[in-house]
Amino acid sequence: MATMAEVAREAGVSVATVSRLLNNQETVSPETANRVFAAIEKLHYEPNLLARNLRKNESRVILIVSPNVTNPYYAHILSGIGDVATKLGYSALIYNTEDDKSREREALEMLRKHRADGAILMASNTNSGWLLEYSHEFPLVQCSEYDPQVDIPHVSIDNYQATKEAMEYLIELGHRQIAIISSENDYISTRLRLQAYRDTLTQHSIACSENYIINASRDYSFKSGKSKAKELLKVEPRPTAIFCISDTLALGAITAAKELGFSVPDDVTVVGFDDVEHTTMFHPYITTVAQPCYDLGKQSAYLLCSLMRQETQIPRQTILDHKLIVRESSASPKVG
């Protein structure tokens, strides 16, 4: 808690010299430098960031706006952002919104208050026009979810292509009665996955039955996955495969199948999405589309830093690789 003035006095120099030493290492003689370092050591001096940041008019803080850190998917992204932030000399401030738009706004006001220099938004839905006014004033990056209509840089995977690959895998296995558990939320990922589901079926001349399309809760809860799967498994003809837009939903579907006396994958194939820890620990190990959560966070942080450094040539869209991971919950349908 010593101040720079105290260090200066202790070392017999002026504050300017101390400051120079700590910032632009230029032009300080070795001997004075040593005296100053000794003083710093002796007094346990650490620069007061409040003062430094005020002077420099920056906070060196990255704001992370997430609906809920408790969700492992977001937690992994958060982890990626945090690591990059630390590495680049920033701190990671987290703001939970519980999916509440007013809290999201509240979070962004932190930028105007100079509490943070830029923000990474997770889970913006596809109605984010209001974000534009902020993005004109402050560095903003959308991670994983984004609004295609809105011109804010974002990092994501190719949800359409990823879903297409999963669907083609199912079709190749021989499935024709493929259902989907989507969600009633308004994320771009949801929309694209559903679209790819429909398109892929059509492209393979498979009729796309509305009975096979069902929406789970906004937050992909296990519970709703389970109850929606039960509905699907009662549809005639019974689907031989269920594509779920999240692993939690897929686990719900597997549980539902078991409770109804069906075996996975013998009676019904279940495929998930995300591949986050803790959801892939159980038999049958789940076939899923893996997202690089940690890297999504990392790239978002790098992108934001570019933005904050006012670099030109910022890509509007960064797409990371997904990967279909085949495990135990999928198989060819039984004949007959």
Partner DNA sequence: CTGTTAGCGCGTTCAA
Partner DNA sequence: TTGAACGCGCTAACAG
CA distance 239 to 268: 7
CA distance 266 to 268: 6
CA distance 176 to 145: 30
CB of residue 243 vs DNA: minimum separation in angstroms? 52
- With CB under 7 A as the contact rule, the residue among 9, 52, 115, 198 that binds DNA is 52
CB of residue 17 vs DNA: minimum separation in angstroms? 4
The reply to whether 310 sits near a second copy by the rule CB under 8 A is no
The reply to whether 43 sits near DNA by the rule CB under 7 A is no
Cβ atoms of 20 and 27 within 8 Å: the answer is yes
Q: How many other C-beta atoms lie within 10 A of the C-beta of residue 129?
A: 10
The reply to whether 309 sits near a second copy by the rule CB under 8 A is no
Terminal CA-CA length for the chain: 78
Decide which of DNA, a second copy, none touches 68; Cβ closer than 5 to 8 Å per partner kind: a second copy
The reply to whether 83 sits near a second copy by the rule CB under 8 A is yes
CB of residue 8 vs a second copy: minimum separation in angstroms? 18
Sign of CA dihedral 105, 146, 135, 91: positive
CA distance 300 to 284: 33
CB of residue 10 vs DNA: minimum separation in angstroms? 12
The reply to whether 227 sits near a second copy by the rule CB under 8 A is no
Element holding 224 (H helix, E strand): helix 222-232
- With CB under 8 A as the contact rule, the residue among 25, 70, 312, 313 that binds a second copy is 70
- With CB under 8 A as the contact rule, the residue among 42, 114, 204, 334 that binds a second copy is 114
The reply to whether 94 sits near a second copy by the rule CB under 8 A is yes
Q: Within 13 Å of residue 69, how many CA atoms lie on the same side as its CB?
A: 10
- With CB under 8 A as the contact rule, the residue among 92, 214, 250, 286 that binds a second copy is 92
According to DSSP, the residues that pair with 271 across neighbouring strands are 243, 287
Contacts with DNA in 12-31 (CB under 7 A)? 12-20, 22-24, 27-29, 31
The reply to whether 78 sits near a second copy by the rule CB under 8 A is yes
